[in-house]
């Protein structure tokens, strides 16, 4: 009974919650803080459909937001500049092949800056992202593993499991090509590093972590013939060692998946910049709530209340 009740409650929550946030003025409060230059919205995507991405861009434009680049954010940090009013920063993780038409084309249409953090192995190998092998329905053994279970084991063991799955499953290219990376890089589109194999960095050895962090930068710079100095942690997974390795590798800034605003305090942690995630299976309305940060605090309280009722 409990397993049926929880999904139903979540569906009800996801349907009504965005309306609650709008009606009660939570979105308005965020817009006020942005308009006063108190916060910068930091939003990241993976592989959004074109309609969703463009709808969210239009919402920002209609609500008088100003899009800033990662370089502009760094300048604010380095020179201790005042926050621009109504500022929003857009980033994208992985480098999915659909990004070219669904995201890059829209960014160029509206002349807005976007940074895409590139996971290099799928681009070089022309196959799938490793999570796609894990989620593939054709192999029964996949069911014994999940992303959550693999984050608990050493990286070398994760690699063995994924290599075994790759020997049984064929997945066509899911990532952009090297030529496409070169073509999309422009005044609007900048590229950053996102490791080589997209591991859980804290489960890597020192040598593996350094190779993933520095090696991905070296590969990208070789492909692009230009400097790469921004980084995003796969799964937002990092610790003190990873922060030090990113800095030592020569990156000027790095991005986490911490769901929070960029504030005068959080920007001091230039190697762990927070970002709100867009959920690509969710509605435009829900994602507006997520992008503005209004979703997270109340969602957490709601989940705790529901859990107490169901226990």
Confidence of residue 23 (pLDDT cuts 50, 70, 90): confident
* pLDDT number for residue 294: 87
Q: Mapping DSSP to helix (H, G, I), strand (E, B) and coil, where does residue 26 land?
A: helix
d(CA 21, CA 18): 5
Flag whether pLDDT at 308 surpasses 60.
no
Confidence of residue 7 (pLDDT cuts 50, 70, 90): low
Confidence of residue 311 (pLDDT cuts 50, 70, 90): very low
Confidence of residue 16 (pLDDT cuts 50, 70, 90): confident
Which tens digit of pLDDT belongs to each residue from 228-273? 999 999 999 999 999 999 999 999 999 999 999 999 999 999 999 9
Which tens digit of pLDDT belongs to each residue from 164-202? 999 999 999 999 999 999 999 999 999 999 999 999 999
* pLDDT number for residue 10: 65
Helices 284-291 and 26-35, axial angle in degrees (round to 10) = 50
d(CA 202, CA 209): 8
Geometric angle at alpha carbon 235, from 216 and 48, rounded to 5°? 90
Rounded to 5 degrees, φ, ψ at 303 are: -65, -40
| 64-68, 143-147, 277-281: least confidently modelled range | 143-147
* pLDDT number for residue 142: 46
Flag whether pLDDT at 4 surpasses 70.
no
d(CA 14, CA 20): 10
* pLDDT number for residue 267: 98
* pLDDT number for residue 135: 87
Strand partners, 161: none
Which tens digit of pLDDT belongs to each residue from 39-53? 999 999 999 999 999
* pLDDT number for residue 295: 85
Winning range, highest mean pLDDT, from 15-29, 87-101, 132-146: 87-101
Can you give the three-state secondary structure of 138-177, one letter per residue?
CCHHHHHCCHHHHCCCCHHHHHHHHHHHHHHCCCCCCECC
**37 or 308: which leads in pLDDT:** 37
* pLDDT number for residue 8: 65
The full set of domains in the chain, from first to last, is 2-310 (3.20.20.370)
Average pLDDT, the chain: 91
Average pLDDT of the segment spanning 82-91: 98
* pLDDT number for residue 143: 56
* pLDDT number for residue 128: 97
Q: Confirm if 192 and 228 have CB atoms less than 8 A apart.
A: yes
Flag whether pLDDT at 27 surpasses 80.
yes
């Amino acid at each position: 009974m409990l397993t049926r009740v929880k999904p139903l409650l979540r569906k009800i929550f996801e349907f009504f919650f965005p309306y609650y946030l709008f009606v009660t003025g939570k979105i308005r409060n965020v817009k006020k803080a942005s308009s006063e230059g108190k916060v910068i919205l930091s939003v990241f995507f993976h592989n959004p459909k074109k309609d969703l991405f463009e709808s969210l861009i239009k919402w920002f434009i209609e609500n008088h937001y100003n899009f800033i680049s990662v370089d502009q954010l760094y300048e604010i940090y380095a020179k201790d500049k005042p926050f621009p009013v109504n500022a929003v920063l857009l980033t994208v993780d992985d480098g999915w092949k659909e990004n070219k038409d669904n995201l890059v084309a829209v960014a160029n249409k509206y002349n807005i800056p976007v940074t895409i953090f590139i996971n290099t192995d799928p681009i070089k190998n022309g196959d799938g992202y490793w999570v796609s092998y894990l989620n593939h329905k054709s192999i029964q053994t996949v069911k014994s593993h999940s992303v959550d279970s693999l984050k608990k084991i050493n990286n070398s063991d994760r690699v063995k499991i994924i290599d075994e799955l790759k020997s049984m499953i064929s997945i066509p290219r899911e990532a952009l090509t090297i030529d496409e990376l070169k073509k999309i890089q422009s005044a609007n589109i900048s590229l950053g590093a996102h490791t080589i194999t997209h591991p859980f960095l804290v489960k890597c050895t020192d040598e593996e972590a350094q190779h993933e962090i520095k090696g991905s930068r070296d590969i990208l710079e070789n492909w692009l013939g230009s400097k790469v100095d921004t980084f995003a942690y796969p799964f937002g997974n990092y610790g003190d060692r990873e922060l030090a390795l990113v800095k030592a590798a020569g990156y000027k800034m790095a991005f986490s998946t911490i769901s929070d605003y960029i504030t005068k305090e959080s920007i001091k942690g230039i190697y762990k910049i927070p970002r709100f995630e867009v959920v690509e299976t969710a509605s435009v309305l829900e994602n507006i709530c997520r992008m503005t940060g209004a979703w997270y605090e109340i969602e957490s309280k709601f989940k705790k209340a529901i859990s107490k009722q169901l226990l």
